[in-house]
Amino acid sequence: MRVVFLGAPGVGKGTQADRIAAQFKIAKISTGDLLREAVRNQTELGREAKRYMDQGQLVPDAVVIGLVRDKLAEPGSANGFVLDGFPRTVPQAEALGKVLQETQRPLHRVVKFEVPRQDVIRRLSGRRSCPKCQATFHVEFAPSKKGDACDRCGETLIQRSDDTPEAIETRLQVFEEQTAPLIRYYASKRLLSEVNASGSVDAVFEALFSVLAPYSAI
């Protein structure tokens, strides 16, 4: 199974990508995770990416495409994958298509997650993460039992620089202006499905499962 998850920041793509990857035994490829790892390691690529991420801007295509190409070439992606956070622009989608065409692994489905704007802001602004073990919490929906400290390792939790209200507004505007055309792009290729992601994690997963299950045996 080879699928792409589309949607604004905070719609739950990452959570569902984890579950789908585990259910169908395929690789989860998150460009956000790849980029944040590069930032943590303070590589040249990471430092360049951080300038854009801190402002809620998209990282340049050349950087992201290179990371994804390398990840798709790894043995762990041979049985299929779910792409979370890529592509975000039509040029990225076209580049991905070329990479997959070269290896004769076309996409099976593209899923768009639908969540009201006010819910996205609520989800993102309350998110907290552990800088040491990378555990994620939410001040309202999934708070740490230790308050401002991580349940797992005790490190003080932080709010990501791109989860501040100002950065969230910028991220949503960027999505609407630059990423939304992907919907039309994939719809024209008859690859697009839409899922209401406003419900519980389990309800969203059930909706996703019904969309993706037919492709598990391909």
- pLDDT of residue 218 exceeding 70, the answer is no
Does 13 participate in catalysis according to the annotation?
yes
- Give tens-digit pLDDT for 72-117: 888 999 999 999 988 988 999 999 999 999 989 999 999 999 998 8
Mean pLDDT of 41-57: 82
Query: Rounded to an integer, what distance in angstroms lies between the CA atom of residue 196 and that of residue 204?
Result: 7
**Cβ atoms of residues 3 and 216 within 8 Å:** no
Pairing between β-strand 127-129 and β-strand 136-138 as defined by DSSP bridges: antiparallel
Does 128 participate in catalysis according to the annotation?
no
Does 171 participate in catalysis according to the annotation?
yes
Which pLDDT does position 9 carry in this prediction? 82
User: From the candidates 28, 36, 50, 88, which is the catalytic residue?
Assistant: 88
Domains and CATH numbers, the chain: 2-114+177-215 (3.40.50.300)
**pTM over cut 0.85:** no
DSSP string, 140-193: TTB--TBTTB-TTT-PBPB--GGGSHHHHHHHHHHIIIIITHHHHHHHHTT-EE
